Amino acid sequence: MKRPVLMQLVGAALFTCLVAQATAQGGNLYRYRNDQDVVVVDDSVPPEFVARGYEVLNERGAVIRVVPRVLTPEELADATLQTRLEEAAAREEQRLRKWDQTLLLRYSSIEDIEAHRDRALADLRLRVGILKSNRRNFKQQIENYQSQAADLERRGYEVDEARLKAIASLQKELAATDRQIADRNVEVEEVRASFEADIERFKMLEEAVRLRRELSSRAAQAD
């Protein structure tokens, strides 16, 4: 048997195995992308989407497994590609599992996350406000010293070394404060984005739980 044919048979066998896995575990839900690249959560993965890879969810909607996509016959010729895909899927599984578990332990609702977000952002904005107040003070002191120096020069006196050093020191403080304000503003946006990602992820968990209840209700009615 030629190698390409063997690879195709291996790929077909793997695909068949994945289809069986994506339909046999009745206690789990599955998350995959359809032809419109829309994320779908259901109690099984349609066979035509299995090859793209999918996530297995528990009854709380948390990821318990990430199944990588099926390799094409051409890709199967690379003996290391399947291993790399599986390793990447394992890392993603660990990341999502940890994220989901953290969200479920830390929060009970979207409103809970929003409240934590608002408190965190308020604290950061308070720090920015303090830094801006310090900046105004430094700037005012610099202007005062510069005004004094200009007055001395107009009167024909040499500006003393202590005043020049004070101006230089305050300018350094002002520059450092500007950097801190910029850093805190970046942190504000990062924290906001992090919480928004948590909110979207929590919505996915809630949707999975809602779907599980709906499927359980249908099954009970069918019985």
Task: Evaluate whether 68 touches 83 at the Cβ level (below 8 Å).
Answer: no
Which tens digits make up the pLDDT trace of 137-184? 999 999 999 999 999 999 999 999 999 999 999 999 999 999 999 999
Residue 6: predicted pLDDT:
37
What integer best gives the mean pLDDT of the chain? 86
Q: Quote the pLDDT of residue 73.
A: 78
**If residue 105 lies in a helix (H) or strand (E), which one and from where to where?**
helix 81-106
- pLDDT tens digit sequence for 77-114: 777 888 888 899 899 999 999 999 999 999 999 999 99
Q: Residue 23 — pLDDT band, cuts 50, 70, 90?
A: very low
Tally of CB atoms within 10 A around 57:
24
Q: State what percent of residues in the chain have pLDDT above 90.
A: 65
Q: How far apart are CA 133 and CA 131, in angstroms?
A: 5
Cβ-based neighbour number of residue 85 at 10 Å = 16
Q: What is the model's pLDDT at position 83?
A: 86
| Structure confidence at residue 26 (pLDDT) | 52
Query: Residues 111-135, buried b or exposed e (16+ Cβ, 10 A)?
Result: eebeeebeebbeebeeebeebeebb
DSSP secondary structure, 121-141, as one string: HHHHHHHHHHHHHHHHHHHHH
Q: How confident is the model at residue 192 (pLDDT cuts 50, 70, 90)?
A: very high
pTM above 0.75, yes or no: no
